Structure formats: C-alpha cells, structure tokens
Amino acid sequence: MDVADKVAIVTGAANGIGRAIVEQLLLKNARTVVILDVNEEGGKKTLEELREKYGEDRVDFIKCDVSNATQLEAAFVTTKTRYERLDIVCNNAGIDNEFELEKSVAINLTAVIRGTYLAVEHMGTKNGGNGGVVINTASGLGIMPFPLLPIYTATKHGVVGFTRSVASEPMVVENAIRVSAICPGAVKTSITENQDVDKTTRYGHLLRPLLANVTKMTTTELAANIIIMIEDSKYDGGACMVSAEIPLTKVEPPTIGVQ
Ligand SMILES: NC(=O)C1=CN([C@@H]2O[C@H](COP(=O)(O)OP(=O)(O)OC[C@H]3O[C@@H](n4cnc5c(N)ncnc54)[C@H](O)[C@@H]3O)[C@@H](O)[C@H]2O)C=CC1
Ligand SMILES: CCCCCC(=O)/C=C/C=C\C/C=C\C/C=C\CCCC(=O)O
C-alpha cells in the first residue's frame, strides 16, 4: 500500500514507538493520522508538536483507553466520521507490568484483537471501505520465552498467534484487510529506560543489567520498518522480527500437518 493520502489510526501514540509510527506515516504523506492514547496530557502535547511540524489538519488526537471496548469503538467511529475513510490501523498500545495480570491482558492482547476486528468493520471492502492494513505491535518476546516477564511474554505470544491466524481468516481476506505483527527487540522508550523496574517485575536485580547491556533500536528505526511492512505485502500474515542486530525478517511458524 502506498501511504500517501491515506488515513491511519495509531494506538498508544502519545509516546515512544507509537509516536514514531505517526511521524513516519506523516513523512510518507499520509493525509491524516489519528493518535489514540489514554494519556490526555501526553497526547495533547504530541498533537501540538506534530501539528506544528506537519500541519494542523494532518494529525488528530482522541483520548481513548484501548482496554475499554466502548471507547475503542467510539474512536473508530469518530475517525471515520471526521475523515470519511480509514486505511491503516496500528494496534500498538502496550504496558509491561507483571503485577497487573488482567490489565496486561486487556491492553496488550484483548484490545489488539478488538482493534483488528474494528479495522475489518471500518475498512473492509464488503463494509463500504477500500480495504486496508493492520499492524499489531507484539515483541521479540512474542516468539521467544522470557522467564523474567512471563505475563508480558504470554500477552505478546497471544498477539502473534492471533495475528498469524486472523490474517487468513476468510472474513478478513474477503474484506481485503492485510494483517501482520511486528516483533521488535529492545527499543529505547520509557519501557526499556525504566529505572524503577522493581515496580513492574519481581526480578529488577536481573533485568537492570540486561537492560543496561542490550543494544536498543531507536523508535524511528523501528517505525521505518513498520512502514516497510505497510507498503510491502510480502510481510502479510507474519510475525516479523527486527532488532538492532537483525534486519526485518518474517519468522515462519512450525506446522503440525494442519494449515
Ligand atoms: N520498548 C521496547 O523495547 C518494546 C516495546 N514493544 C511494544 O511496543 C508498544 C509500545 O511501547 P513503547 O513505545 O515502548 O512504550 P511507551 O510506554 O513509550 O508507550 C506506550 C504508550 O501506550 C499508551 N497506553 C498505555 N496504556 C494504554 C491504554 N490502556 N489505552 C491507550 N493507550 C495506552 C501510553 O500512554 C503510551 O503513550 C507496546 O505494545 C510494547 O509492548 C515491543 C517490543 C519492544
Ligand atoms: C529481546 C526482546 C526484547 C523485547 C522488549 C520488550 O518487548 C519489552 C521489554 C520490557 C522490559 C524490558 C525487559 C527486557 C528487555 C531486555 C532484554 C531482553 C533480552 C532477552 C534475551 O536476549 O535473553
């Protein structure tokens, strides 16, 4: 898909990776990108900064807690009403907190599932749309085990399993919706720069040295790879790994004789 003139939604885009995705979409001449984030202050600040840089009518912000089904659906409806089309959805919002099981599943997994089906409803060719692309932010920890963050890792494995499956679901294919998951290694954001990991994991003493030594991608480097996935259909249906050391690679799942 050529991003030029398209309308996009990016969740969790007040900061970090989401914000960088918004900026890369704008640099590729997306017509309008709508930021959904629960952080109203951060969202408004980002909106102001990006409007100043790229133009008033090119960026929008809707306060939305993606774990609230009503708010998420309303944000899609508002976007379609305001901009009359929707072409790209990046389900990116996520948290890392091993002490918040239900919240982690609700934000990292359930909201990604809901966001994908809302994308089908609002972009699908059988529903009056033009088709479109969905990119779900998983993690490298969606394809490898990580004993220090088992709940986070489980939610990201869920995103990978859902994305690989839903990409070939008949309803999704028939509506011309392409879906894939990005599985980044460590990226320099508030998650990996968090100095207070004891508040989010039992293993701060083990995580701190790992975080200090791991080579991190920048958010801009990662977002540029996400744009490649939007543009090139060869990544469709995939769990696509990328890190400071590994170029964008579609990781093929094992099969057990059933497709
Ligand atoms: N930073 C990293 O090393 C990696 C991050 N990821 C994933 O990338 C995604 C983005 O994370 P980062 O940019 O690193 O973190 P971040 O903390 O910088 O940004 C996350 C954004 O999501 C928003 N958010 C949190 N809960 C929300 C909710 N209920 N509704 C709406 N927005 C909400 C936050 O306000 C924030 O703006 C997450 O899904 C994360 O799991 C994946 C691999 C590596
Ligand atoms: C290798 C994937 C890293 C993905 C990071 C992520 O999604 C969320 C991280 C949250 C907290 C930071 C914790 C760990 C990251 C640091 C190092 C992981 C190294 C794993 C390994 O190679 O064994």
User: What pLDDT was estimated at residue 259?
Assistant: 64
CA of 100 to the centre of ligand 2 (A): 18
**Catalytic (active-site) positions:** 152
Ligand 1: does its nearest atom lie under 6 Å from the Cβ of 259?
Answer: no
Average pLDDT score over the chain: 97
Q: Classify residue 233 by its DSSP letter.
A: G
What's the pTM? 0.97
User: What pLDDT was estimated at residue 257?
Assistant: 79
User: What pLDDT was estimated at residue 49?
Assistant: 98
Q: For a substitution probing ligand 2, which of 139, 200, 208, 245 has the most ligand atoms within 8 Å of its CB?
A: 139
Q: Classify residue 126 by its DSSP letter.
A: G
CA angle 63, 23, 75 (to 5 degrees): 25
| E strand residue ranges, the chain | 7-11, 32-37, 59-63, 88-91, 132-137, 177-184, 239-242, 249-251
Q: Is the dihedral of CA 93, 238, 185, 154 positive or negative?
A: positive
The dihedral region occupied by 88, where left means phi > 0, alpha psi between -120 and 50, and beta the remainder, is beta
Interatomic CA distance for residues 141 and 151, integer angstroms: 10
Minimal-distance CA residue to ligand 1 atom 35:
39
**Each residue's pLDDT tens digit, 18-47:** 999 999 999 999 999 999 999 999 999 999
User: What pLDDT was estimated at residue 191?
Assistant: 94
CA angle 197, 201, 204 (to 5 degrees): 50
CA angle 197, 200, 206 (to 5 degrees): 45
Show the low-confidence residues of the chain (pLDDT under 50). none
**Each residue's pLDDT tens digit, 118-131:** 999 999 999 999 99
Which ligand is closest to the CA of 108, given by its number? 1
